[in-house]
Chain A
Amino acid sequence: MFSRFSLLLGIALRHISKRKRQTLVAIAGVGIGVGFFLAVSALMIGSQNDFVETLIDAAPHIIISDEIRSPTPQPAVRAFPDAAVEVRHYKTRNEVRGIKDWQGLMRTIGARSDAVASPSLSGAVTLRVGGREEALAIVGIEPGIEAQVSDVEQYLKEGRLRNLETTQGGVIIGEEMASRLGVRMGDIMAATSARGVTRTLKIVGLFERGRGQFGGSSGYVLLREAQSLTSQPFVINRIGIRLDDPYAAEDIAKRLEARYGYKAESWQERSADFLSLLVTRNVIMYTVISAILLVASFGIYTVVSTSVADKRRDIAIMRSMGFSSGDLQAVFVMEGFTLACVGVLAGWGLGFALMQVLGSIEFNIQGSTETMPLDRSFFQYAISAGASLFSAIIAAWLPARKAAQVDPVDILRGAV
């Protein structure tokens, strides 16, 4: 069996080695197809991964807020659901905002070994330095826990999250805000809340410029500080959860929301628009790539079908020698397959080289030098090889069937 295979392969190799130009063109076709597949998909998937990673880690994987998706019915309606009399113009009871029983929620999440939850309270204050005033959305956190849940620590240009604990009245604001107020690290500002509470805050950290919300209008303080500034002791209105497996977020969020009633938003829900955009992008990418590989396999089709046409006499000879029609079909399929294999290897080389080039390009984004995110995973190599070899087998098999159908007697008669 093996000797037969190697014999037929030997014949196939001998055939293609005698038609160098066509062989080269077919190999180049597959090689270029595979090479660009690798380069393009490395770039597309690399940037996608980079993007999704940013989506995932920009904020906690799940955010439970004190909102409720469908507001609870008013007490009167709740008491008499099928009442004949409809109560109108009732006054909405102004419930104290915040998550009730947040300690219970924290315990539920704390019981999971794959999740960390960080409670926070957000509110608004006005900062005042000298004659200047700026509105600041403050977020009260437990620095130790928050650091495990989100990447805020990474966005700090100066200072550390921990400084909030060590400095009484510490606050972290963004560079933009600081420059608007004309303050620097260690400076002291007055903060006044809507309830009229005023405190002095000291800058213990600065967020990098260009970090969206962090840079501009948000500031971090200690949770206790936020609670007393907004006169809401023991209240929190947000729980951020980080999971070991971010892809479980959607599922866990649904269950938490069903159980506690509060809106639990997963990163997937938060980024649904972007994610569906990525799907479209992938469909387009793979369509284009498949077209490239399909065109590459045309080269193989051409080589094999001209080879079959040129070798009709040899086919008849081999048939008379005792080769079966299946043997001859195999010879020509192997011709195409061999070309595709060499093409794939060449394409891997080309793709690798292209990735090296792409990876070496550096460009500046807001002061920091970055390179293109590339996905160099083996998976892409395997996919490109699999798709090329599969299409090559089809492309070779179609004309190779003709080799099997050659009637040696027709050829022998015609040869005389």
Chain B
Amino acid sequence: MTGTPLIRAEGLTRVLAVEPPVTLIRDVSFEINRGEFVAVIGPSGCGKSSLLYLLGLLDRPTEGRLLFDGEDTTGTDGNARANLRLARFGFVFQFHFLLPEFTALENVTLPMRRLGWLGGAEIDARGRALLGAMGLEGQEHKTPDKMSGGQRQRVAIARALANDPALLLGDEPTGNLDSLNSKRVIEIFHDLAAKEGRTIICVTHDPEVAASAHRRIHMLDGRIERID
């Protein structure tokens, strides 16, 4: 079980069917193990986000295979992919995408309620605990527009962790935060990897974040330049 890598990409290629066709990702192969914190870096427009969407099963490769936990995800249908995202993945984007009509607590509990494994009271308690762990005690009933950027991003992280995901995917999660809040978020990510054994793949421009990761995937023009 622990022998198989959590993620295994084999010749992943993603060509956009526009005229002329655009190759976002070209023949990418790598493995990522459990508990690893991997940074994806490279110049703007090199395909980092595109790779993340493929790994998060939001997008489908036009060629190649993607194995998650040893299982080939290539041919799976939309519902199976949605279920995998729901139960195993957590996303954090640059623009802390919270649902504006819902409070912080509601945003965090939404994935749990959709999954339906826990009862209402447990969901509520877990939501509060996650917000507490992000230093957001007392903010549970605020809507996103009443919170600061750093608070919102921590709500987004709490929501990404709601269903206890094996894999956390970040797309420049600190890109829109000041240095103090960036530091906090990176500390949280490190804790999640080190203490909770979660796998983290994080696209970043921040050299500090990149330096602190276990490994770095360097990308250029849709290709992996090197991994170190």
Residue from B87, B98, B113 whose CB has the most chain A CB atoms within 10 Å: B113
Task: Please encode chain A, from 317 to 332, with 1 for each CB lying within 8 Å of some chain B CB and 0 for all others.
Answer: 1111111111100000
Would you call B85 an interface residue if the criterion is a C-beta within 8 Å of the partner chain's C-beta atoms?
Answer: yes
Bound complex: CA of A322 vs CA of B79, how far in Å?
9
Is B58 a contact of A409 with CB atoms below 8 Å?
Answer: yes
- Find chain A residues with CB under 8 A from B35 CB: none
Chain A residues with Cβ under 8 A from B79's Cβ?
Answer: 324, 326
Pairwise interchain contact A319-B113, C-beta atoms closer than 8 A: no
6 A-B pairs closest in CB distance: A322-B86, A324-B82, A322-B85, A317-B97, A14-B101, A320-B91
Q: Is the CB of B56 within 8 A of A320?
A: yes
Does B102 belong to the interface (CB within 8 Å)?
Answer: yes
B53 touches A18 (CB 8 A): no
Q: A1-30, CB under 8 A of B: which get 1 and which 0?
A: 001100100000011011000000000000
Residues from 114 to 145 in B contacting A, C-beta threshold 8 Å: 114-116
- Assuming A322-B87, A325-B78, A409-B58, what are 7 further A-B pairs, CB within 8 angstroms? A4-B114, A320-B58, A321-B85, A321-B111, A412-B93, A415-B97, A416-B94
Closest beta carbon of chain A to B45's beta carbon, Å = 10
Q: How far is the CB of B169 from chain A (nearest CB, A)?
A: 9
Q: Provided the pairs A320-B56, A323-B114, A412-B53 are in contact, do residues A14 and B89 lie with their beta carbons within 8 angstroms?
A: no
Is A313 interfacial (CB 8 A cutoff)? yes
Task: Given A3-B113, A4-B116, A321-B111, check contact A413 B78 (CB 8 Å).
Answer: no
Min CB distance B197 to A, Å, is 21
CB contacts (< 8 Å) of B83 on chain A: these are 322, 324
Counted as pairs of residues, one from A and one from B, with CB atoms less than 8 Å apart, the total is 76
Residue B174 CB within 8 A of the other chain: no
Pairwise interchain contact B53-A322, C-beta atoms closer than 8 A: no
Give chain A nearest CB distance to B17 CB in angstroms. Answer: 12
Would you list which residues of chain B between 52 and 84 have a CB under 8 Å from chain A?
Answer: 53, 56, 58-59, 78-79, 82-84
> How far does the Cβ of B150 sit from chain A's closest Cβ, in whole Å?
19
- Please encode chain B, from 182 to 222, with 1 for each CB lying within 8 Å of some chain A CB and 0 for all others: 00000000000000000000000000000000000000000
Residue from A3, A7, A316, A317 with most neighbouring chain B CB atoms (10 Å): A317
- With a CB–CB cut-off of 8 A, which chain B residues contact A320? 56, 58, 85, 91, 93, 97
A residues bordering B, Cβ < 8 Å?
3-4, 7, 14-15, 17-18, 313-314, 316-327, 408-409, 412-413, 415-416
Min CB distance A120 to B, Å, is: 77
Identify the B interface with A (CB < 8 A): 49, 53, 56, 58-59, 78-79, 82-87, 89, 91, 93-95, 97-102, 110-111, 113-116, 159, 163, 171
A412 touches B49 (CB 8 A): yes
| Residue of A318, A320, A324 most packed against chain B (CB within 10 A) | A320
Inside 8 A of A319's CB, which chain B residues have their CB? 58, 82, 85
With contact pairs A14-B102, A412-B53, A413-B49 given, residues A321 and B58 touching in the complex (Cβ less than 8 Å)? no
C-alpha gap A357/B102 in the complex (Å)? 44
- Indicate if the CB atoms of A321 and B101 lie closer than 8 Å: no
CA distance A327 to B91 in the complex (A): 19
Question: What's the Cα separation between A412 and B94 when bound, in Å?
Answer: 10
B residues near A313, Cβ cutoff 8 Å? 97
Question: How long is the Cα–Cα vector from A15 to B102 in the complex, in angstroms?
Answer: 10
Q: In the complex, A365→B109 CA distance in Å?
A: 68
Bound complex: CA A408 to CA B79 (Å): 14
Most buried by A among B89, B99, B111: B99
Contact indicator B82/A409 (Cβ below 8 Å): no
The answer to whether B110 and A321 touch across the interface, beta carbons within 8 angstroms, is yes
Provide a sorted-by-A list of 5 A–B residue pairs whose CB atoms are within 8 angstroms: A322-B85, A322-B115, A324-B83, A412-B58, A415-B93
Are A3 and B86 neighbours in the complex by a CB distance under 8 Å?
no
In the complex, what residues of B have CB within 8 A of residue A324's CB?
A: 78-79, 82-83
Whether B78 pairs with A318 at a CB distance below 8 angstroms is: no
Chain A residues within an 8 Å CB radius of B115: 322
Give the chain B neighbours of A413 by CB distance below 8 A.
49
How far apart are A128's CB and chain B's nearest CB, in angstroms? Answer: 92
Of A321, A324, A416, the most chain B CB neighbours within 10 A belong to A321
* Bound form: Cα–Cα A324–B79 in Å: 6
> In the complex, are the beta carbons of B114 and A322 less than 8 A apart?
yes
- State the Cβ distance, B55 to closest chain A Cβ, in Å: 12
Q: Which residue of A lies closest to B44 (CB)?
A: A416
Q: Which residue of A lies closest to B119 (CB)?
A: A3
* Given known A320-B85, A326-B79, contact A409–B99 (CB-CB < 8 A): no
> Residue on A with the closest CB to B163?
A322
- In the complex, A317 Cα to B98 Cα: how many Å? 8
Residues in A neighbouring B56, C-beta threshold 8 A: 320
**Using Cβ atoms and an 8 Å threshold, which residues of chain B touch A325?**
78, 82
- B71 vs chain A, min Cβ distance (A): 17
Provide the bound-state CA to CA distance between A53 and B34, in Å. 82
Pairwise interchain contact A18-B101, C-beta atoms closer than 8 A: yes
For A412, what are the chain B residues with a Cβ–Cβ distance below 8 Å?
49, 53, 58, 93, 171
In the complex, A388 Cα to B28 Cα: how many Å? 54
Chain A residues with CB below 8 A from B53, complex form: 409, 412
A409 & B94 in contact (Cβ 8 Å cutoff): no
Q: Once the chains bind, are B99 and A318 in contact (CB under 8 Å)?
A: yes
- Bound CA span A353–B82, Å: 49
Q: Nearest residue in A to B102 (C-beta to C-beta)?
A: A14
B111 → chain A, closest Cβ, in Å?
Answer: 5
| Residue pair B97, A323 in contact (C-beta under 8 Å) | no
Residues of the B chain whose Cβ atoms lie less than 8 Å from the Cβ of A321: 85-86, 91, 110-111, 114, 159
